[in-house]
């Protein structure tokens, strides 16, 4: 039997997918990268959304680094493009002015292979739509993490993304259920798992700290380490890579949260 850890060890190039826009793919990508870096892993992230890239904007990156586009068209070197984010991970900045006709996802393959040689993990933030680009990225990836919210349209797109992954032979590691408010109008976990036929491997609550961290251009796990979302994300990543993580006691988190408001 293929164990969970075997799959994770074999998964170095992970697509953070999900289908629907706005479910939290970029938020999850940045925070997983920050936590993996805290655990001593070398991580590089890439914005797979080459038409409406915004990961760099979310992370406050306006560097003079060589861009993804320049590496791909040969006018810049990969080593000059790697921007070291204060959170510990690296990112190949995507020029937000890039037009679709300038680039093709398939051009990224060589770059990704080179990145894999110098990283423990390469995370790709998938574009929202289920189009040619997201399908090609799915094909390139070793595995994929499906991000969804507990609402019907998001879960439906998550299922479609899972089917694409199956179609192209890419393993789906599980569902990250994000922005959960625990309201009775939300789809229940069991129904989501039954619909997609995949387990929910992380359950991240709706959290104002996420929105505040976006303003600070810093992953929530660093700007608000005691926030509920941060604790859940850290628990998930530790379990994902087989590291020990003892979350602080609830009362400690509560006091730290009050003090950080």
Ligand X SMILES: Nc1ncnc2c1ncn2[C@@H]1O[C@H](COP(=O)(O)OP(=O)(O)OP(=O)(O)O)[C@@H](O)[C@H]1O
Judged by CB under 6 A, does residue 128 bind ligand X? Answer: yes
Please tell me the distance from the alpha carbon of residue 248 to that of residue 108, in angstroms, as a whole number.
41
CA angle 27, 81, 96 (to 5 degrees): 55
# chain residues binding ligand X, by CB under 6 A: 18
* C-alpha pair distances (Å), 260 with each of 25, 197, 212: 26, 39, 11
The residue at minimum Cβ distance from ligand X is 128
Q: How far is the CB of 133 from ligand X (least distance, A)?
A: 12
Window 25-44: residues binding ligand X (CB under 6 A): 25-27
Judged by CB under 6 A, does residue 224 bind ligand X? Answer: no
Residues whose CB falls within 8 Å of the CB of residue 38, separated by 6 or more in sequence, listed in order:
88, 221
Judged by CB under 6 A, does residue 21 bind ligand X? Answer: yes
Given ligand X, Mg ion, none, residue 242, with its beta carbon under 5 to 8 Å by kind, binds none
Window 228-247: residues binding ligand X (CB under 6 A): 229
Window 100-119: residues binding Mg ion (CB under 5 A): none
Residues whose CB falls within 8 Å of the CB of residue 131, separated by 6 or more in sequence, listed in order:
none
What is the DSSP secondary structure assignment for residue 49, as one 8-state letter? -
Residue of 24, 86, 88, 101 lying closest to 55 (CA atoms)? 24
Please tell me the distance from the alpha carbon of residue 102 to that of residue 252, in angstroms, as a whole number.
50
Helix (H) or strand (E) holding 125: strand 121-125
Segment interacting with ligand X (CB under 6 A) among 131-139, 160-168, 203-211, 239-247 = 203-211
Please tell me the distance from the alpha carbon of residue 234 to that of residue 248, in angstroms, as a whole number.
11
Query: Residue 147: beta bridge partners?
Result: 176
# chain residues binding Mg ion, by CB under 5 A: 2
Residue of 177, 108, 188, 180 lying closest to 145 (CA atoms)? 177
Judged by CB under 6 A, does residue 200 bind ligand X? Answer: no
Judged by CB under 6 A, does residue 124 bind ligand X? Answer: no
Judged by CB under 5 A, does residue 218 bind Mg ion? Answer: no
Given ligand X, Mg ion, none, residue 214, with its beta carbon under 5 to 8 Å by kind, binds ligand X
Residue 17 burial (CB count, 10 A) = 31
Judged by CB under 6 A, does residue 207 bind ligand X? Answer: yes
Given Mg ion, ligand X, none, residue 220, with its beta carbon under 5 to 8 Å by kind, binds none
Given Mg ion, ligand X, none, residue 229, with its beta carbon under 5 to 8 Å by kind, binds ligand X
Pick between residue 49 and residue 142 the one whose CB is nearest to ligand X.
49
Judged by CB under 5 A, does residue 26 bind Mg ion? Answer: yes
Tokens 């104002």 — which residue? 208
Pick between residue 26 and residue 149 the one whose CB is nearest to Mg ion.
26
Q: How far is the CB of 214 from ligand X (least distance, A)?
A: 4
Sites of contact with ligand X (CB under 6 A) = 21-27, 49, 128, 178-179, 204, 206-207, 210-211, 214, 229
Sites of contact with Mg ion (CB under 5 A) = 25-26
């Amino acid at each position: 039997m293929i164990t969970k850890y075997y799959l994770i060890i074999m998964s170095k190039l992970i697509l953070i997918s999900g289908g629907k826009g706005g479910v939290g793919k970029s938020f999850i990508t940045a925070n997983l990268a920050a936590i993996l870096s805290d655990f001593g892993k070398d991580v590089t992230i890439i914005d797979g959304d080459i038409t409406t890239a915004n990961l760099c904007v979310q992370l406050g990156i306006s560097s003079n680094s060589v861009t993804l586009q320049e590496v791909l068209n040969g006018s810049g070197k990969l080593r000059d493009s790697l921007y070291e984010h204060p959170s510990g991970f690296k990112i190949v900045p995507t020029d937000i002015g890039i037009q679709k006709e300038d680039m093709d996802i398939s051009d990224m393959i060589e770059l990704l292979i080179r990145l894999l040689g110098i990283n423990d993990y390469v995370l790709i933030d998938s574009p929202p739509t289920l189009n040619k680009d997201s399908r090609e990225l799915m094909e390139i990836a070793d595995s994929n993490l499906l991000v969804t919210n507990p609402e019907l349209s998001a879960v439906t797109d998550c299922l479609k993304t899972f089917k694409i992954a199956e179609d192209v032979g890419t393993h789906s590691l599980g569902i990250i259920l994000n922005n959960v408010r625990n309201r009775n109008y939300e789809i229940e976990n069991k129904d989501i798992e039954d619909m997609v036929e995949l387990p929910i491997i992380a359950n991240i609550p709706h959290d104002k700290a996420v929105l505040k961290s976006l303003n600070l251009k810093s992953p929530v796990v660093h700007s608000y380490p005691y926030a509920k979302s941060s604790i859940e994300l850290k628990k998930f990543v530790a379990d994902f890579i087989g590291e020990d993580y003892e979350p602080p006691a609830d009362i400690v988190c509560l006091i730290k949260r009050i003090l950080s408001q």
